[in-house]
Structure 1
Amino acid sequence: MISWRKHYKTVLIAVGLLLSTSASVHAQTGDPSNGEKLFKANACNSCHALDKQVVGPALGGIVAKVKTDANVGPDWLHKWIKNNKELRASGDKYANEIFEQFNKTEMPAFANLSDKDIDDILAYTTNPPAAPAADAASADGAGGTDMNSVAALEAAKNNEAASKIIITSLVVIAGLLFWLLLKLRTLVNLQKSQELNAKDSAKAFSFAEFYDKYRMVGTGILSVLALIAFYGVWNWLMWIGVYKGYKPEQPIYFSHRIHAGVNKIDCQLCHSSAKYGKVSEIPSLNVCMNCHKMIPEYKGKYLEPGKDKAFYDGEIQKIYEHVGWDKEKMAYTGKTSPVQWTRIHNMPDFVYFNHAQHVVAGEHAIIDGFNKKHPKKDDQIDVVCKACHGKIDTMNVVQMANDFTMGWCIECHRTTEIDMKNGYNKTYFKNLHEKLKKQFGSGAKITVAAIGGLECGKCHY
């Protein structure tokens, strides 16, 4: 009994030390590397950063911060992460203060995370593993360099070949001009002397006699030149208003390759009116802000040749300036300004084109028809938009991928077969197939042209 009392204080001190350090041990026993993976896998980085406030608070050193602010430990963070709504409903004062402080933005519950998972995440926020600068740089560069090296090399070869052709043509033209100058100089020298010696007399001749002798040849050459000139003028007239390959610079740089290609964002998420409306409108900047409220900087690995992270960050900042967004305060300032986009695709006023009719009713027919015309796998499409606009998910700068002429549209209507798997079409065009067989033979197919796709009033009214 005396022995126990002797060591009583020592035992209490040991227990006290164990309890006081349990919170820090609880937070520090996690694996920071695994915590980083969990942090990204659960999209925590979409609302939080370690070094600054995004949608939620900065999480660097969060274990120490909550201890200082409210004298709570990792157990409180476990409850908050698993179900912050339940924690607030229990009347927890600190939980409700945080909820009010961050504009009542409710954090999703992560009941799927185990205690060990949360310990790993907290360990990551306390002691994040440092990524080697060289490795990070090479990783960022890999996405851009590897994906673009082949295309860049091919473009360089094409430019070199084109330059050689131009230089060769200029040399030939210069040679012809030099030869003509020599002949003219000879004729001028002959005209200077009134008396011609025997040698010069042999060179001199009458142009009239020469033309009379070779009149048929001259007429033929002039006719050919006239036909070439006429064809050139006709071809020029036919290409008025055709801007295939047109890709103007925009006031805010937007890479479809990054958004639709690398990040797999569906076309209709931004161009929602293309599916249900006549016109595919340009998305408002509010659509951009749905994501860029939480994405103030570019963290992707893909980089275009000649562009770096700072360039992309600057373009995101332009969005903030136009919509009046303060990324530090996470609030709108009310100062806005419109963006003067340069239009690329523009149908003439006398042409009627309905996006919804093609995107909804003609989706499967257009995709199937396009892929039949392009049997190579690399040329085929998976989204109806690409049939007209090209593989826009590979374009850094959007350009007109097709002619968009009347002949181009008519050719599509003549070759695209109607989707007879569609229940409406199957019933509505039940007897049309038999009629076409009698009119055009057994191989006749129900195309857009067969159901009135070539009628003038369909597009011109």
Structure 2
Amino acid sequence: MITIALLLVSTAPIYAQGDAKNGEKLFKANCTACHALDKQLVGPALGGVVARLKADQNLDTDWIHKWVKNNKELRASGDKYANEVFEKFNKTEMQLFPNLQDKDIDDILEYTTNPPPPEPDPVATPVDGAAAGASGEDSSTSKIILVSLLAIAGLLIALMFKIGQLVKLQQSEELTAANARNAKSFAQIYEKYSVVGKIILGALAVFAFYGFWNWLMWIGVYKGYKPEQPIYFSHNIHAGVNKIDCQLCHSSAKYGKVSEIPSMNVCMNCHKMIPEYKGKYLEPGKDRDFYTGEIKKIYEATGWDEASQSYTGKTKPVQWTRIHNMPDFVYFNHAQHVVAGEQAIISSHNKKNPDNKIDVVCKACHGKIDTMNVVQMANDFTMGWCIECHRTTEVDMTNGYNQAYFSGLHDKLKKQYPSSNGKITVSAIGGMECGKCHY
């Protein structure tokens, strides 16, 4: 205890040189890709590094300054400890930071020595707008269905009650005067209003047929479908809060027919250095431990050992539940829409939805994915839905390729479709041909 006290006293002036608040910002901006305060990642844990180096190697902050600014040069000078660290961490070269001033490094060291207490968690952010909207629509639909069912149930109860009365009358060997009058009056009423009754029954039959047909038409339409996944992944946190580009994970959407489910190695590109969740955003009912637990599932799936910072080779495949799935007889090319149709689709969507504009082409079909905690199917994805898009989306004629390719066609279409005011939609260039989408 005396030794530790003397060490702290002897190094106290060093700790007073930096600003821990500014150091925290610099640490998160420059160091968190490879370092944490309390555990080893790609590099060693940096909590208490000043005192540790002083005690173990008798090195002061001047050595740390040299290492941070240009560790390669420090190793080339023959510095023994610098080369030992390089060998110990599998000869992984640390990034050079010549842009950091001495004051910046002192601030970072102050943060590693005396980190400020964490800020209190913010009030939980409400669930995403897309999910809230869907739940509102579902609630209204449920009320309509409930009222309709109650009305039908009431009619059936009344009908059953009347039939019960008639059955009792038929079972009676002798009709009382009152029953005779009731039976006679019912027969007269039926005979008098039989035409009206048949019309009502016919209308009910038509209504029932329409309901059945409408039900058939919506088979395979799963708008609002949002299944639970084996590993919880919030697009709100990744694409929304952290602004990660969709195509960083779904890279084949730009270059191929299918937008693939990212492999777990794509997740590990970031989570190799992010073993726990420290973000400010928290969903209602979830804490940081929940998100950290999901990150550990990624490690289990990929066979990543945190302690040794290496792969064990023991992997565990993840069985994701697919959400968007085109029928086999439908041809849909993501690249064609993401690349060639990007500006046209975004422009068309924003014209039709001025209060719900998008900035990424993916959102036109998949909804505002960057606000979804649990991904759901945001649109119908029916044939009619696709055709309507082709009818209303104008071809981007500011594109140099399109200008050259459609130069002759443009004038022809103006004459053929004078009401279009010279606008070329996708339907006018073959977007309505069956063979474009069906084999």
TM-score when normalising by structure 2: 0.90
Letter in 2 for 1:115: D
Alignment of 1:448 with 2:426, yes or no, is yes
CA distance in 2, matches of 1:307, 1:30: 35
Which residue in 1 is equivalent to 2:360? 383
Alignment of 1:298 with 2:277, yes or no, is yes
| Aligned counterpart in structure 2 of residue 407 of structure 1, from 364, 370, 384 | 384
Q: Is the 8 A contact 2:129 2:371 kept in 1?
A: no
Which residue in 2 is equivalent to 1:36? 24
Q: Is the 8 A contact 1:32 1:129 kept in 2?
A: yes
Q: Is the 8 A contact 1:420 1:426 kept in 2?
A: yes
Mapping of 1:39-438 within 5 angstroms? 39-40=27-28, 42-131=29-118, 135-136=119-120, 140-142=121-123, 144-145=124-125, 147-148=126-127, 172=151, 175-205=154-184, 210-376=189-355, 379-438=356-415
User: What percent of counterpart residues are identical?
Assistant: 72
Letter in 2 for 1:448: V
Q: Tell me by how many angstroms 1:173 deviates.
A: 5.1
CA deviation vs aligned residue, 1:187-240 (integer Å, no higher than 9, x gap): 344334433333322111287665443232122112212211221222122112
Which residue in 2 is equivalent to 1:459? 437
CA distance in 2, matches of 1:362, 1:155: 27
CA distance in 2, matches of 1:364, 1:77: 50
Q: Tell me by how many angstroms 1:154 deviates.
A: 8.0
Secondary structure of residue in 1 paired with 2:349: helix
Q: Tell me by how many angstroms 1:355 deviates.
A: 0.8
- Gap regions ≥5 residues in structure 1: 1-20
CA distance in 1, matches of 2:283, 2:112: 32
Secondary structure of residue in 1 paired with 2:170: helix
Q: Is the 8 A contact 1:247 1:399 kept in 2?
A: yes
- Gap regions ≥5 residues in structure 2: 1-8
Q: Is the 8 A contact 1:83 1:110 kept in 2?
A: yes
CA deviation vs aligned residue, 1:308-351 (integer Å, no higher than 9, x gap): 21211111111100100011221111101211111111111111
CA deviation vs aligned residue, 1:111-155 (integer Å, no higher than 9, x gap): 122212222222222222334xxx52xxx242x24x449999988
Q: Tell me by how many angstroms 1:288 deviates.
A: 0.2
Secondary structure of residue in 2 paired with 1:109: coil
Letter in 1 for 2:44: P
Q: CA RMSD in A?
A: 2.6
Count of residue pairs the alignment pairs up: 430
Q: Tell me by how many angstroms 1:32 deviates.
A: 2.6
CA deviation vs aligned residue, 1:244-299 (integer Å, no higher than 9, x gap): 11111111111111100111000000000000111101100000000000101111
Secondary structure of residue in 1 paired with 2:316: coil
Q: Is the 8 A contact 1:257 1:394 kept in 2?
A: yes
Residues 1:390 and 1:201: Cα distance change in structure 2 (over 3 Å): same
Residues 1:111 and 1:433: Cα distance change in structure 2 (over 3 Å): same
Residues 1:330 and 1:366: Cα distance change in structure 2 (over 3 Å): same
TM-score when normalising by structure 1: 0.86
Letter in 2 for 1:445: K
Residues 1:151 and 1:437: Cα distance change in structure 2 (over 3 Å): closer
Letter in 1 for 2:166: L
